[in-house]
Each structure stands twice: as C-alpha cells, then as structure tokens.
Amino acid sequence: MAEALGGVRRTDLTISAPVFMRGMVVKSIAGRDKDRLLVVTDVTEAHVLVIDGKERPLQRAKRKNPRHILPTEHMLSEEMLRFNNPLRKALNRLAETEHKPTQATEGGAECPSRI
C-alpha cells in the first residue's frame, strides 16, 4: 500500500477540516436544521456553537458537530451578532439569494430535459 501512495503511509495523510470563525455563515447538512443557514458564535475543540436568530436565538446557541456543517463565503459583522432581529434578516436575505431562480426558468421557458 505504501508503494501505491508514493512511499507515504495512509496514516500520514491528513485531511484538513474547515476552519470556523465567529460570524461565519454556515449551512447545516445534518439534523433537524438540515439545509438551513446558521451563524457561528463560538468554536470549541469538539463542537461549533451556531445560532439563527429564530429557532436558535443568541441566548440558546446550538452545539453542532463540525462534520455536520459546511462553511459559506459569507461573514456577518459583530454588530449583526448583537441582536436576533438583524441576524435573522441577514440570514433570510442570504437564503433568498441562494434560492433565487435563474432567468431561464423565470420566463416560462421549458427546461431542455422536458422537451
């Protein structure tokens, strides 16, 4: 096996986990909150604490396994993390832009796979 990997042992290979930071917008990929956008408030050795401003307000952060969330390219400022209402509005705006239909499907044009 070592020869197949160019002399590197399987145990020597490491896969780097995503780095989570306070204010980072993440997407849940497992659990009751699957496919929802959340914001990281704190990172511990084994878990990431996330909120959404509604189901999980600032006062009751959810502890998530880092394997169950995916980072996005979006970050929220510390100002947004002070209150639930601006946090919820920001996440709603991001969710709307993520699910916005493309121009080809808006005008009633049929999908090429259905023709």
pLDDT of residue 115: 43
Residue 59 lies in a domain: yes
Domain membership of residue 111 (yes or no) is no
Nearby residues of 57 by Cβ (< 8 Å), 6 or more positions away: 51, 84
Residue 3 lies in a domain: no
Higher pLDDT, 100 or 78: 78
Whole-number pLDDT of residue 98: 79
Residue 68 belongs to some domain of the structure: yes
Q: What is the mean pLDDT of residues 36-52?
A: 95
Q: Residue 18 has what pLDDT?
A: 76
For residue 65, tell me if it sits in a domain: yes
In a domain, 16, yes or no: no
Distant-in-sequence, close-in-space partners of 2: CB < 8 Å, separation ≥ 6 = 8, 9
Higher-confidence position of 2 and 95: 95
Tell me what the pLDDT averaged over the chain comes to.
82
- Here the tokens at position 19 are 């780095």
**Structural domain includes residue 33:** yes
